[in-house]
Each structure stands twice: as C-alpha cells, then as structure tokens.
Amino acid sequence: MSTEVVARLKREILIDSLPVEISTGRLTKIEKPEGSLPLRLNRQHAAVLGLLHALCLLALVPWLFSWSGLVLAVAGHFVFGMLGINVGYHRLLTHRGFKCPKWLEHSLAVLGICNLQDSPARWVAIHRLHHQHSDRQPDPHSPHAGFWWGHMGWVIFQNRVHDKPIQFERYARDLLRDRFYLKLAAQKRWIGIYAGHALLFFLAGFILGWSGSGTVTGGLQLGLSWLVWGVFVRTVFVWHGTWAVNSLTHRIGYRNYDTADDSRNHWLVALLTHGEGWHNNHHAQQRSAAHGHKWWEFDMAWWVIRAFESVGLASHVVRPKPAV
Ligand SMILES: [Zn+2]
Ligand SMILES: [Zn+2]
C-alpha cells in the first residue's frame, strides 16, 4: 500500500487520532509515542546536541588537528563507546547477559556516562521499554514513526513518560536498588562526570603540549586538539552509532529470526558499533551476550566479554541458543 493511499485512508476514515497501526506492506507505520505528543522540544537536549555537533566542526580547523588526537578518538570509540555503551549499558546493565564484580560493573557504567547518552538507569529504562514494545506503541524510538524520529528526533523532543517514577519503577528497579545508580540518576551527577572527563582530556593534552613545546600556545594547541578529537568528535560519532542501531537496523538489513518487530542485521552498523548492528539476532535472543550468531557476523563486544570471562572477570555469560 503506498503512502499516498494510507494518507487518503487516514483522511477518509478519520483514523488519524486513533492509536492504530497501519500496514503499508513492507513496513508498518506507527504514530510517535503518546508521551511525546503534542511535540515539545526538550530545549536542554536540543541545545547540547546542537552544540556538540557544532563543536565537531572545529575538527576541520588544521591548527586543531594532531595525530595523537585522532588516535584518542579511535581508541575512545573502543573504550567509551564499546566498553561503556555496548558492553556496559546494553549487554550488562539492560539485559544482564553476564555477571561481573561490582567494581567492574560500575567502571563500565562510568565509561558509558562519558558518551553523554543519559544516566545508566534512564538509558536502561528507555531501552527495556523499546524491547517490550518494539515498533509498536509506545516504542520510544521506532523509525516506523519516521526515520529521523527513530534516529535522533526522540532525543530532542520531550517524552513525558520517560521521567515518570513509574517508568523507573517498572523498567529499572534492579539498578535503582544500587545507590550508585540512584545517585547518578537523581542528582544528575552523570553530567558532571562527562564534563570532568572532557576537562581531563584538555588538561592532559595541555600539560603534554606545554612540556613538549615549551610554550603555552603549544599546550593550548594539543589540549584543544585532544578535547575536539578525543571528546567532541568521538562523542558525536558514538551517538550516531547508537542511534543508527535504533533507526537503520529497524529499517534495513536481513533477518535471521522471524521476530514480531522489524529488527534487522546490517553489517555496516555492526562494524561501526562493534557488533550492535546484528540487531535482529539481539531482538530474537535479548539476553544473549553475543549478538553475532552466524560465523561471519563479527561481534567485537562479544570477544571482549569472552576475554573478561577467560580471566575470571565475567561469569554466567548467556550464550545464544542454536536457531531452530
Ligand atoms: Zn537491547
Ligand atoms: Zn531494537
């Protein structure tokens, strides 16, 4: 059914106001989640997103380029993006795909915070809500409510449901029993941690640049280079990787499993997110710590969890069940 036909049907039978799902054949169109309607900008989120994207443009200034800054961006994608978000926030805290010592769990959560993607408890609650209602109401970020909505629109518009105590009670109760996560969420301390880590990047670069060049200008140059590349560029790159999992891999790619949602596997998203792009596999077996289920579905985050396991830092690792 073409989108024109759907639009005409909507007008004719006045189903616009009803929370119905309209099959368009290849995909299902849904409305944006009720909690976000009528749309209201989340000014804080929109400002931070806009600012960080604008600050990334500083990477185009040749004076701010350094090879060490570039190395920090790539390494940071691995350390903060993969260990923090993929292994920490997602596979460990949200899905409990393995167990590890508390100090390691908290460390992974702090690495996750350094991507400015929300406090661990709020991130987990939103993601569990997504799994419970994938591509249906009230999925917070289905791309079937609009591609850009699924990618980043859901972040810059308010969703009144996400901050309700009942949401945390229902979807993140296990985390909030731990005072560490409770404090991070309640007092917004996670934002301070992000700012602190950015400052550390700048100071480390400044001290090294100053001692290497003997000038304050040299220090400023390297400090700002590390800040731009190691923090701003890397943060925005990790953002779009995480968002691509929500948007692209609910729209394009292949399916190993006939799940009730429209989750898909896509090699490019998997490559850019260290394995998270095998998203259909993940929706089919949510607790599995491995997202790559076929031999060619390379999943670096899984190999890191295996490495933790081999040195005794991870136990109760949930492995994928053989497909039937
Ligand atoms: Zn998940
Ligand atoms: Zn999904």
What separation in angstroms does the CA of 60 have from each of 48, 63, 76, 155? 20, 9, 19, 26
Q: What is the pLDDT of residue 187?
A: 76
Ligand 2 centroid to Cα of residue 278, in Å, is 10
Ligand nearest to the CA of 244: 2
pLDDT of 188:
82
Q: What is the pLDDT of residue 27?
A: 56
In 3-state terms, what secondary structure has residue 315? strand
Integer CA distances (angstroms), 172 to 99, 121, 187, 205, in order: 17, 6, 16, 38
The predicted pLDDT at position 21 comes to 38
pTM listed for this prediction: 0.89
Task: Please give the distance of CA 150 from its chain centroid, rounded to a whole number.
Answer: 12
Bridge partners of 29? 22
pLDDT of residue 324: 53
DSSP 149-206: IIIIIHHHB--TTTTSHHHHHHHSHHHHTSHHHHHHHHS-HHHHHHHHHHHHHHHHHH
Question: What pLDDT does 12 receive?
Answer: 33
For residue 130, the CA-to-ligand 1 centroid distance in Å is 8
pLDDT, tens digit, 9 for 90 and up, residues 87-119: 999 999 999 999 999 999 999 999 999 999 999
Q: How far apart are CA 105 and CA 87, in angstroms?
A: 10
| Encoded tokens for 194 | 């992000």
Q: Distance from the CA of 282 to the center of ligand 1, in angstroms? A: 7
Residue 126 Cα to ligand 2 middle (Å): 11
- CA–centroid distance, residue 205 to ligand 2 (Å): 38
Which among 70, 65, 105 is positioned nearest to 88, based on CA atoms?
A: 105
pLDDT tens for the chain, 324 residues long, are: 344 444 443 333 332 332 333 333 445 789 999 999 999 999 999 999 999 999 999 999 999 999 999 999 999 999 999 999 999 999 999 999 999 999 999 999 999 999 999 999 999 999 999 999 999 999 999 999 999 999 999 999 999 999 888 898 899 999 999 999 999 988 788 999 999 999 999 999 999 999 999 999 999 999 999 999 999 999 999 999 999 999 999 999 999 999 999 999 999 999 999 999 999 999 999 999 999 999 999 999 999 999 999 999 999 999 999 865
Q: Where are the beta strands (DSSP E) in the chain?
A: 22-23, 28-29
Q: Which residue has the tokens 């609009």?
A: 146
Ligand nearest to the CA of 85: 1
Q: How far is the CA of 263 from the centre of ligand 2 (A)?
A: 6
Calculate how far, in angstroms, residue 288's C-alpha sits from the geometric centre of ligand 1: 10
302, exposed or middle or buried, with CB in 10 Å at 0-12, 13-18, 19+? buried
